[in-house]
Structure 1
Amino acid sequence: MTQQGVRWSADQVLSLAPDASSRKAGSKLGAAGPWSEAGSCGEGTVWGLCKGSGSKPYQTVVDIADASGPAYKCSCPSRKFPCKHALGLLLLWAGGDGAVPQGQPPEWAEQWMEGRRKRAEDKRTAGAAGSSSGSADPEATRRRAERRAERITAGATELEQRLADLLRGGLAGAEQTGYGQWEETAARMVDAQASGLAARVRELGAIPSSGPGWPVRLLEECALLHLLDRGWLHREGLPDALAATVRSRIGLPASADGTPVRDRWLVLAQFDTADSRLTTRRAWLYGAETDRTVLLLSYGAAGRAPELALPVGLTLDAEVSAYPGAGQPRVALGEQFTQPVPVPTRPPGMTTAQATARYGEALRDDPWLDSVPVTLDRVVPTPDGDSWQLADADGDTALPLTPAARARPGLWKLVSLSGGAPVKVFGECGHQGFTPLTAWPEGAGEAVPLC
């Protein structure tokens, strides 16, 4: 909430929704009808009672002042975070029509806030104790790292033989052998503690059933996997930055040991991807003073949203530290000096031709890079046969949208926002095309999340 006079927009609130159904259900609860005893205080807490199907209303409280993003508590049985009641309460507060007056929090909300403050203090104390103690046995740590490197080397050598067998027998055989052999190979890479290799092997196994043109895609992915294998096996001869990238792509953990950089970071986009084991949240930030676009990753268990939540369009004054690797955008969020606040800042844009050139330049540092973050200026979404593209309003070049982007509801939101006029669009540009994540209308207007 930051200062009481600063309100979020409805789009910023709904960008926190874990899925489309929660977004729809929360929107229905954004009116005063089901709410009673709603209030807020200057410490950044919003609370209220929401009438449900039972005899007792649901107790809902949100801490908006947390610099790492809102935190939620609701007595409803939903396992989604935020639940529809928390979204509805925030929409009610964001309306700014007096439905959520300032006041003193009730006891149940105050108890939750006190518990959060205590846990945060305990975490800080434990972190300080851990950093001061350091590694108990550096020699044991070194030996463990060496043993893991030996296992990865054995796995990479075995994978090279598997790729050689595939090419020797011909790509057509991959369609007949099925997915089982690739899953077995992926499991062996997991045993070798090379999670990055395992993930790429699984993707490889799914290509023969991915539709027309699969042999070309399979050959491309085999080449990239071979390049990663060779990079690991000859890592001692690589430049330090590229060697760090190879270690990261292989799946070795790394620490954000870069020099902390303070800036006013604009939240460009936030979205989740999930599999059967993990929910990954990606948040892109733009630093107005450093002119850098960086990536924050946070994780939650399967079916649970990560704790870090940064609504699009907010800016936070904070430090970030980079992870090692050539051209890697990932950072860790460090000290935060203020609460996130809405601002009218927009990132500078570029043409579609400049965006593709930037992706090409990034591949020199990281050949396994799927995409780079870019902001396109003055583009118009236009049909392209059965597909869509973003065409430069002042030029004759265009970028096709990725298949994933064409299947998302955000495409129609973008088309509606444009109405045939130029818009500014932030997204990810890669070998499959462009995935729009956030858009701004020409002239004045708030950021509109598209994911």
Structure 2
Amino acid sequence: MNLNIEQVLALAPDSNAASAGRKLGVAASWKGLARTERALWGECQGSALYRVCVDPDTMASTCSCPSRKFPCKHALGLMLLAASSLGAFATGTAPPAWVLEWVERRAATAERKKEKEAEPAKAPDPAEQAKRAERRRQRVVKGIEGLELWMGDLIRQGLAQVEDRPAAFWEAQAARLVDAQAPGLASKVRRLGRYVGNHPQWPARLLGELGRIALLTHAFRRIDQLPPPLQADVRQLIGWSLPHEEVLASGEAVQDAWLVAGQSLFDEERFRVQRNWLVGTHTGRVALFLQFAAGTAAFPENMMPGTVFDAELVYRPSAFPQRALLRTDPAKARTPRAWSERLPGFDRTESFRIWYAEALALQPWLERTFACLRGVTPIRTGTACIVRDAEGGSLPLARADAWTLFALSGGEPIDLAAEWNGEALTPVAVVSAGEYHVIPAGAEDEEDA
């Protein structure tokens, strides 16, 4: 296990679990500490004696405590202790029965998953598929007709009249789109309400977003005239979801050593969503790997910022492919390795601007992408903050109180990993003096609008 403390803390489901885990990350809190190549374990005294075991390859963990958080504070504490003081774990000790049982159960689960994936899928009835697709298309068309009338009324009446509208005004139209089986459009309509009053130029922002929605509805009406990759984008943005199996079977596959260059968390209705931005260290390809979890449940994959792992990613069809799936092999464990080199990315901000302009020309509804900028210096200019490259080119930061970024920079050039929404950068990580640092969630959040 070669992860640092920041990378372990990135696994915490919330700040309270991270804080409690820190307190338990000392040898005095544990007894029976030991490790093998397949597991590290120990017992922690709380209101009871809790048994904790961690897989050092995948960072999966188990604990006998009743916590519903995953990983719990005890598992985090054990991982933090391993990250800071691996020598506290005895070697050459035979694993106790409860450790062996957990390791063998995980191996059996992986084997069953492998067998299930090898089973041939039942072929669907093409005729019935075509009927369902046509029924949905007709419902979506009717929903779009209603949406276009609604947007036309907004423009005719003037955007100033929406300032006093309650949230129910936007939700009612979104609900109609859900009924029309266009959940992607419904989500966009819900977000429209966030623009109102949240920025000095909110009418212009709202008008721009209405224009992008109108472009999307017009594109759907002419979808047969679009190139196949752009057709896939339009369908996905309207609300069609492509089954994972279909993506894995027909998507573009790229094998590489993938750096988890940045990560961000946000809530979406009933779920927590984790955005993982991966960069191929050989190909330079950028990939967005999304994960969803309800409540404080664990995400399916342990993606630790600042680590690199060997894997094959499969990109979803798109005119500008970003989102990708991980092709997993249950027989092979993904072993993350700590990253201490420079970020693969752009040395000039102008190069990034050109790259982004080309991406936007291919996919005009691109909401965000990822930027790895090398050798940039954070600078405060009046009430705003920017990052400037060695040639004087610059890009704005989403917030003016980017103190974490300034502290990590110390006035010197850094490698910056950030999300770009077309207007400003939201930093998620920094590589400075050969060390990878996660910028804590919420430290440099972009504005809601």
Q: Provide the C-alpha distance between the structure 2 equivalents of 1:176 and 1:270, rounded to a whole number of angstroms.
A: 36
Judged with a 3 Å threshold, the aligned counterparts in structure 2 of structure 1 residues 344 and 212 are, in CA distance, closer, same or farther, namely closer
**Partner residue of 2:161?**
173
Q: Distance in 1 between matches of 2:84 and 2:296?
A: 30
Residue 395 of structure 1: which of 375, 391, 396 is its match?
A: 391
Task: Answer yes or no: is 1:84 the counterpart of 2:73.
Answer: yes
Q: Is the 8 A contact 1:378 1:422 kept in 2?
A: yes
20, 27, 38: which one aligns with 2:22:
27
Contact 2:13/2:296, CA 8 A, preserved across alignment: no
C-alpha distance after superposition, 1:24-62 (max 9, x if no partner): 22222111111111221112x12111121x1x2222111
Which SS does the other structure have where 2:88 is aligned? coil
Task: Give 1:211 deviation, angstroms.
Answer: 4.2
- Is the partner of 2:435 in helix, strand or coil? coil
Map 1:40-439 onto structure 2 (within 5 A). 40-43=35-38, 45-52=39-46, 54=47, 56-66=48-58, 70-102=59-91, 103-129=93-119, 132-254=120-242, 255-256=246-247, 257-335=250-328, 339-346=335-342, 347-392=344-389, 394-403=390-399, 411-439=402-430
SS at match of 1:193: coil
384 and 245 in structure 1: CA distance in 2 versus 1, 3 angstrom threshold: same
Indicate the larger mover: 75-84 or 318-327.
75-84
Q: Once the 2 structures are TM-superposed, how far is the Cα of residue 330 of structure 1 from its aligned partner?
A: 1.0
1:4 matched to which residue of 2? none
Q: Aligned partners of 1:209, 1:135: CA distance in 2, in Å?
A: 51
What amino acid is the match of 1:340?
Answer: P
* Counterpart AA for 1:280: V
Matches of 1:412 and 1:297, distance apart in 2: 28
Deviations 1:331-360 (A, max 9, x none): 111145552222434313322222222222
Preserved CA contact (<8 Å) 1:274 1:302: no
* 1:289-310 deviation per Cα after TM superposition (whole angstroms, max 9, x unaligned): 2221111112111343312112
Corresponding residue of 2:7: 12
2:238 aligned partner, one-letter code: I
Cα offsets for 1:123-144 (capped at 9, x unmatched): 2222222xx1332423222222
Distance 1:343 1:276 in 2: 34
Alpha-carbon distance in structure 2 between the residues aligned to 1:24 and 1:382: 31
**One-letter code of the match for 1:51?**
Q
Report if the CA contact (8 A) 2:379-2:388 is conserved. yes
Letter matched to residue 42 of structure 1 = E
Which has the higher mean CA deviation after the structures are superposed, 186-195 or 353-362? Answer: 353-362
Q: Distance in 2 between matches of 1:156 and 1:104?
A: 64
Q: What whole-Å deviation, never above 9, does each CA across 1:97-140 have from its counterpart, x for those lacking one? A: 521122322222222222222222222222222xx133242322
What is the DSSP-based 3-state SS (H/G/I as helix, E as strand, rest coil) of the residue aligned with 1:426?
strand
Letter in 1 for 2:378: P
Match of 2:444 in 1: none
AA matched with 1:327: F
Q: Output the amino acid matched with 2:53.
A: V
Relative to 1, partners in 2 of residues 1:20 and 1:367: Cα closer, same or farther, differing over 3 Å? same
TM normalised by structure 2 equals 0.90
Distance 1:234 1:399, change over 3 A: same
Matched residue SS, 1:321: strand
Q: AA paired with 1:238?
A: L
Q: Is the 8 A contact 1:356 1:430 kept in 2?
A: no
* The 10-residue stretch of structure 1 (417-426 or 172-181) with the greater mean CA deviation from structure 2: 172-181
Change (3 A) 1:149 1:42: same
Which residue in 1 is equivalent to 2:446? none
Q: Is residue 24–residue 74 contact of structure 2 (8 Å, CA) maintained in 1? A: yes
- Inter-CA distance 121–95: structure 2 relative to 1 (3 Å threshold): same
Aligned-pair identity in percent equals: 38
3-state DSSP of counterpart to 2:163? helix
Calculate the TM-score normalised by the size of structure 1.
0.90
User: Partners of 2:123 and 2:57 in 1: how far apart?
Assistant: 35
Tell me the amino acid that sits aligned with residue 57 of structure 1.
L
Stretches of structure 2 that go unaligned for 5 or more consecutive residues are 441-449
Give the AA of the match of 1:364: A
